Amino acid sequence: MCFWNWLEPMTRYSRINTIWRKELVDTLRDRRTVIAMVLVPLVLYPALMLGSLQAFEVQVANLVTEEYNLAVESEEVKRWLRRLIDSDPARQEETAGKPAEELVEESQAAPELGGEGKKSSLKRTGAQTAKTGVYANPPDYKIWVVPDVGEAVTEAFVHAGVLLEGEPPLPGMTGSTKVLVAYDESDIRSEIAAGGVQGVLDRANLRLLLQRLKEKNLDTAFVQPIARDEWNVATPERMAGAILGMIVPLILIVMTITGAIYPAIDLTAGERERGTLETLMVAPVPTVDLIAGKFIVVTLIGLMSAVLNLLSVGGTIYFGGVGSLFTRGAEFVFPLSALPWILLLLIPLAVMFSALLLAVCSFARSFKEAQNYIVPVMLAGMIPGVVGILPGTRLEGAIMIMPVTNIVVLTRELFLGRFDYVAIFLVVLSTSLYAGAAVAVAAKLFGQEAVLFADSGSVKTVFQRRYFKPRAVPSAAQALLVITLAYSLNFYIQQAIGKSGLSEGLRYLNAVALTIIVVFAVGPWFAARYMRVNATSAFKLAAPDPRGLLAALCFGCSTWILALRWNEIQQRLLPMDSNVARMLEQQFAWLMDIDPLTLVFFLAVVPALCEELFFRGYALSGLRASLGKTGSVVVVAIAFGMAHYSAQRMVTTTALGLLLGLLVVQYRSIWPAMIAHFMHNAISITANHPAGLKPWLTSLGYPDAADASLPGMWVLAAGMLVTIGVLICFVAPRREHPVELPRPQVQTSG
Amino acid sequence: MIRIEGLTKVFPNPDGSEKTAVDRVSFQVEPGEIYGLLGPNGAGKTTTLRMISGLLRPSAGRVFLNGDDVTDEPETVKHRIGYLTSNTGLYARLTPREMLEYFATLYGLSKPRAKSRIAELVEWLGMDDFLALRCGALSTGQKQRTNIARALIANPTILIMDEPTLGLDVLSNRLILEMIRTQAEAGKAVLLSTHALDEIETLCRRMGLIHNGRLIAEGDLDALRERTGRQRLSDVFLELVGADDQVFTD
């Protein structure tokens, strides 16, 4: 009797359904998930928010009820100041609590003259609130007569000092006396003391002014030709939206990730570590279905976590009265109409992050390893998120399809009551596409044999040289480490050069070339030595193949034209910032004063040698085994593009990186790539140099004017040359020395 | 029935070289037979078993289970395999019952079938006491019973066991061996990889010896004894492995 006759055909749908439900039960029973998902939003938020609110109020209350010490230089000033403080309208018993300006206005119908008004600002600390509060309601003061007021304030014997240049101004006098309030801005108490005194002085000034005007029978309008006032058209709902739009998107991103982290690790690397993955993979279930089931659970948990957070933040603001704090006492109306849309947006966001986390965790062999991989994912999610938070970022152009940023900006727009349906559609669509790509990557990584069964090594072997086995090429981890080190080193040296004031001339070129040599050649060479990697094979120093050189020549004499053409198109589509443009113009100007051969040495020879050694040599060799031919070339090209720290040149440098990478993987030698890189840089620099190739190129039809377009024939010819080069690479790659790994193929016997 | 032909697995090393973990291995396990796979650590036993169960793709060669190729029809073939190793884990936060129900569904059993099959296995393995506890709280023996039940849930015709008794106490050990014997008597093809020579001696009639990825000796236990002129299996083993090493150093 065959048992499998019982078995019923199982549809993919029911299989995935079974998997995700089991994973959900399993995940919800995990205490860590529950803590991250439920406890943090429901308990921590309200506690944190209300706690800080109380601390805020206590701080304000303490600061304004304290007695402050003032220093003056004579008894006469002391008496005068005492009288001013005691007769200040804000300090009169029966009127206490009302701002002094209002009192003056009420009694004498005087306009508000000068002084710090009642402007609200979005975020204030308790100390700041206290500081502006005392202007209208000064605290109690004790006044001391000291020989040196400045010293008394500096040495913090008193909180503030008052110095007069002239007679103490009194009713009936006509002149003006300068009154100096000395305070220490680095001390909040000193600031508060000074703020209160300033309020007292301004109100006294106003009273004296009104008296003088009355004596001369003049209207207040006489001294105030322009009566400035402000009119804020934002509704309370909109004001609340503006504030929420800054806080909520980041909370949602962080919380979606936080909620999804544990299930993502647990269901992939965790399962592998506990040995349940092998059992699962033996079951008659396709890997794609497994990852789909897991993905649904991670997304659900991420989503639940984000929704709980949203509700908790909303609830805390709504019920905890935190809202009116943001608006400085003004009415706070929660923009409820935005909520359904934001919840809808959360779905693609959660889908994208879950897929990304799953992809990253699928790569990890253990829980710990996965946790290490996740930190960069969090940062990668936060950086575009912060870009979106910047007040100037608007939902237009490329921002609409920029992952994470678009959701952050759209959430803010929704909070502000702006519903652009096209934008919503684009944001949801692009985010869904990214999510789909991430799911595909996750599925591919999850089923990989090497990830499934390889054992992870000991930590010690990672750092000490004696544990390193001599290797032909660096490992992926070593390559990534060296890339990271080189990037940060490069960044700091560039910053240091910028700080030193060097920005042009031969000395600047020297500094840049030296940086390139140290960062991209000497550094990796030492790294290779330390990690016992064979330099010849890691840096691909083998002799070049003639076909590779031919392809390199094709690229070398054509890519600069395509780069120029692309820059023209880019400038039309996405014009660069005028400041950047001015900077580039200046740079061009001083470069043209330098001898072309010198320029070629600094800007073509040095970068071609060093950058190729690093990118197409060390980095590509290291990433080749784990990312495959295409993957490693693409990743290294993007790294190369980013290393130029220029958004304008990102596309062209990355594209050049792809071609150079192609040369190296097809011919297993760095030299063709160096030659092509050298030619590209050298021609690009000297093509517009009057003492360089310019006269010769102009005679061939190259445009003389700097802003003229390249002739179509040139672009066409360049395009053809690049195509020929690519064809050579693909049709006639180097075949001997099968160092490259053949992908294991299943052969049929017989 | 298990039939493998010229099974080969080549792993890429991170440094660019490659390593042949399993090199042209061929053998056959008949229904009702317990075939022992013997070999030192790192010989390639586990890799061979993983290829047979469809966890790894062979670099070359083929695996037929009841006549169907594992690579061509992985899902059909996987239904017939019961796979058990010393380190197959359980879901710590699920109970044995939930675990069995989950796998029953994954193997495509209908609800009533799953229910009766689980009841059968629970009774046979004496799992009643701990069926509702979380797997994380079970003793090693209880875990191993759950694992056996999991492997047998779809009543597979082929059993693949990779050192199933490693690290178990005497009682659990006996449970596994008994289970293997019962299953073979029920007509199943059992492939048992182990270090324990006594297990092979008591259970198997035929065995294969893997060393450095190659099947260096294969066949009837008595024939192997005759060939080496040794009576004890450990001596047979050493003789064969030693002879092979000599071939390699020549």
Q: Is A379 a domain residue?
A: yes
Question: Looking at the complex, does the CB of residue B61 fall below 8 Å from at least one CB of chain A?
Answer: yes
Distance CA B191, CA A36 (A): 45
Give the pLDDT score at B151: 92
Pair B195, B165 in one domain: yes
**Is the pLDDT higher at A462 or at A282?**
A282
Question: For residue A163, with 0-12 CB atoms within 10 Å meaning exposed, 13-18 middle and 19 or more buried, which class applies?
Answer: middle
CB-CB neighbors (< 8 A) of B92 in chain A: 274
Give the pLDDT score at A128: 60
Give the pLDDT score at A136: 85
A6 to chain B, minimum CA–CA distance in Å? Answer: 7
ipTM above threshold 0.85: yes
Q: Is B179 a domain residue?
A: no
Pair B229, B167 in one domain: yes
Chain B residue with minimal CA distance to A3? B155
Pair A429, A506 in one domain: no
Q: Is B182 a domain residue?
A: no
* pLDDT per residue as tens digits for the range A676-715: 999 999 999 888 888 888 888 888 888 877 677 788 888 9
Helix (H, G, I), strand (E, B) or coil at A173: coil
Q: Is B149 a domain residue?
A: yes
Pair A583, A725 in one domain: yes
Q: Of the candidates A321, A338, A342, which has an alpha carbon nearest to the alpha carbon of residue A330?
A: A321
Pair B105, B147 in one domain: yes
Give the pLDDT score at A325: 63
Pair A167, A205 in one domain: yes
Those residues with Cβ within 8 angstroms of residue A492's Cβ, 6 or more apart along the chain or in another chain: none
In the structure, what pLDDT confidence band is assigned to residue A178 with cuts at 50, 70 and 90? very high
Q: Is A210 a domain residue?
A: yes
pLDDT of residue A33 exceeding 80: no
Angle at B189 between CA B185 and CA B192, to 5 degrees: 100
Domain count along chain A: 3
Token pair in block for residue A625: 């085994």
Pair B220, B126 in one domain: no
Pair B163, B246 in one domain: yes
What one-letter code names the amino acid at A626? S
Task: Please name the helix (run of DSSP H) or strand (run of DSSP E) that holds residue A507, with its range, or none.
Answer: helix A505-516
Note whether A334 and A248 are within 8 A (CB): no
* pLDDT per residue as tens digits for the range A123-169: 345 556 666 678 888 889 999 999 999 999 999 999 999 999 988 88
Return the residue matching tokens 């990214």. Answer: A434
Distance CA B206, CA B197 (A): 13
A279 to chain B, minimum CA–CA distance in Å? Answer: 6
Average the pLDDT over A366-386 and give the result.
Answer: 81
pLDDT of residue A387 exceeding 70: yes
N-term to C-term CA, chain B: 37
pLDDT of residue A225 exceeding 70: yes
Strand order in the sheet with B60-65: B18-29, B2-12, B60-65, B68-69
Question: Looking at the complex, does the CB of residue B58 fall below 8 Å from at least one CB of chain A?
Answer: yes
Q: Is A692 a domain residue?
A: yes
Q: Is A76 a domain residue?
A: yes
Interface test with A, best of B91, B135, B155, B188 (most A CBs within 10 A): B91
Pair A395, A541 in one domain: no
**Is the pLDDT higher at A36 or at A99?**
A36
B235 to chain A, minimum CA–CA distance in Å? Answer: 32
Token pair in block for residue B33: 């037979």
Q: Which of residues 119-158 of B touch A (CB under 8 A)?
A: 134, 150, 154-157
Distance CA A678, CA A602 (A): 11
Of A348-357, A553-562, A682-691, A701-710, which range is least confident? A701-710
* pLDDT per residue as tens digits for the range A403-461: 888 888 888 888 888 878 888 888 888 888 788 777 777 777 776 666 666 543 333 44
Q: Is B209 a domain residue?
A: yes
pLDDT of residue A182 exceeding 90: yes
Token pair in block for residue A413: 């727009």
Give the pLDDT score at A718: 93
Pair A187, A295 in one domain: no
Distance CA A635, CA A653 (A): 13
In the structure, what pLDDT confidence band is assigned to residue A721 with cuts at 50, 70 and 90? very high
Give the pLDDT score at A451: 61
Mean pLDDT over all residues of chain A?
81
Of A297-301, A384-388, A673-677, A686-690, which range is least confident? A384-388
Average the pLDDT over A622-626 and give the result.
Answer: 82
Pair B237, B142 in one domain: no
Provide, rounded to the nearest whole percent, the portion of chain A with pLDDT above 70: 85
**Is the pLDDT higher at B183 or at A325?**
B183
Q: Is B29 a domain residue?
A: yes
Q: Is A231 a domain residue?
A: no
Count CB neighbours of B52 within 10 A: 24
Q: Which of residues 156-185 of B touch A (CB under 8 A)?
A: 156-157
Distance CA B98, CA B104 (A): 10
- B178-181 contacts: CB < 8 A, separation 24 or more? B179/B148, B179/B152, B180/B34, B181/B34
Cβ distance A275 to B107 less than 8 Å, yes or no, reads no
Interface test with B, best of A1, A6, A32, A747 (most B CBs within 10 A): A6
CB-CB neighbors (< 8 A) of B132 in chain A: none
**Is the pLDDT higher at A39 or at A22?**
A22
**pLDDT by residue for chain B (250 residues), tens digit each?**
899 999 999 887 666 567 888 999 999 999 999 999 988 888 889 899 999 998 888 989 999 999 889 888 888 888 899 998 877 788 989 999 999 999 999 998 999 999 999 999 999 888 999 999 999 999 888 888 899 999 999 999 999 998 888 878 888 888 888 889 999 999 999 999 988 888 888 899 899 999 989 998 888 888 888 888 888 888 888 888 875 554 443 3
Q: Is A202 a domain residue?
A: yes
Token pair in block for residue B40: 């030192």
Provide, rounded to the nearest whole percent, the portion of chain A with pLDDT above 90: 22
Pair B65, B93 in one domain: no
A664-689 residues labelled b (16+ CB within 10 A) or e (exposed) = bbbbbbbbbbbbbbbbbbbbbbbbbb
CB-CB neighbors (< 8 A) of A449 in chain B: 55-57
The domain boundary, picked from A453, A487, A510, lies at A453
Question: For residue A192, with 0-12 CB atoms within 10 Å meaning exposed, 13-18 middle and 19 or more buried, which class applies?
Answer: buried
Q: Of the candidates A457, A447, A359, which has an alpha carbon nearest to the alpha carbon of residue B14?
A: A457
Domain span holding position B109? 88-155
* pLDDT per residue as tens digits for the range A455-479: 433 334 445 566 667 788 887 777 8
Pair A278, A385 in one domain: yes
Give the pLDDT score at B95: 94
Q: Outline where A109-225 has alpha helix (H).
A: 126-136, 149-154, 188-215
Pair A533, A621 in one domain: yes
Average the pLDDT over A553-561 and give the result.
Answer: 93
Pair B122, B194 in one domain: no
Those residues with Cβ within 8 angstroms of residue A64's Cβ, 6 or more apart along the chain or in another chain: A130, A133, A134, A137, A139, A192
Pair A415, A288 in one domain: yes
A123 to chain B, minimum CA–CA distance in Å? Answer: 45
Instruction: Give the up-direction half-sphere exposure of residue A26: CA atoms within 13 A in the CB hemisphere.
Output: 30
In the structure, what pLDDT confidence band is assigned to residue A106 with cuts at 50, 70 and 90? very low
Token pair in block for residue B231: 């009576």
Q: Is B36 a domain residue?
A: yes
Give the pLDDT score at B100: 94
**Is the pLDDT higher at A231 or at A673?**
A673
C-alpha distances (whole Å) from B159 to each of A128, A169, B66, B105 are 75, 105, 12, 19
Domain span holding position A698? 472-731
Pair B168, B237 in one domain: yes
Pair B168, B56 in one domain: yes
Distance from chain centroid for Cα B145: 16
Q: Of the candidates A711, A731, A687, which has an alpha carbon nearest to the alpha carbon of residue A599?
A: A687
Helix (H, G, I), strand (E, B) or coil at A142: strand
Q: Is A462 a domain residue?
A: no
In the structure, what pLDDT confidence band is assigned to residue A342 with cuts at 50, 70 and 90? confident
Cβ distance A7 to B83 less than 8 Å, yes or no, reads no
A366 to chain B, minimum CA–CA distance in Å? Answer: 15
Q: Is B181 a domain residue?
A: no
Pair B2, B67 in one domain: yes
Question: For residue A62, with 0-12 CB atoms within 10 Å meaning exposed, 13-18 middle and 19 or more buried, which class applies?
Answer: exposed
Q: Is A744 a domain residue?
A: no
Residue B108, phi-psi category: left (phi > 0), alpha (psi -120 to 50), beta (remainder): left
Distance CA A746, CA A358 (A): 29
Pair A154, A129 in one domain: yes
Domain count along chain B: 2
Of A278-292, A328-342, A519-533, which range is least confident? A328-342
* pLDDT per residue as tens digits for the range A489-523: 887 787 788 777 777 788 888 888 999 999 999 98
Q: Radius of gyration over alpha carbons of chain A, in Å?
A: 35
Q: Which of residues 13-52 of B touch A (CB under 8 A)?
A: 14-18, 50
Distance CA B176, CA B165 (A): 7
Those residues with Cβ within 8 angstroms of residue A481's Cβ, 6 or more apart along the chain or in another chain: A527
Pair A405, A496 in one domain: no
Pair A420, A525 in one domain: no
Pair A377, A523 in one domain: no
In the structure, what pLDDT confidence band is assigned to residue A109 with cuts at 50, 70 and 90? very low
Q: Is B164 a domain residue?
A: yes
* pLDDT per residue as tens digits for the range A724-743: 999 999 988 887 654 444 44
Give the pLDDT score at A114: 41
pLDDT of residue A98 exceeding 50: no
CATH code assigned at B206:
3.40.50.300
B174 to chain A, minimum CA–CA distance in Å? Answer: 22
Of A45-54, A352-361, A593-602, which range is least confident? A45-54
Token pair in block for residue A631: 């993957």
Over A324-375, what HEC string results? HHHCCCCCCCCCHHHHHHHHHHHHHHHHHHHHHHHHHHHHCCCHHHHHHHHH
Pair B169, B239 in one domain: yes
Of A5-14, A387-396, A496-505, A579-588, which range is least confident? A5-14
Cβ distance B108 to A8 less than 8 Å, yes or no, reads yes
CB-CB neighbors (< 8 A) of B57 in chain A: 449, 744, 746
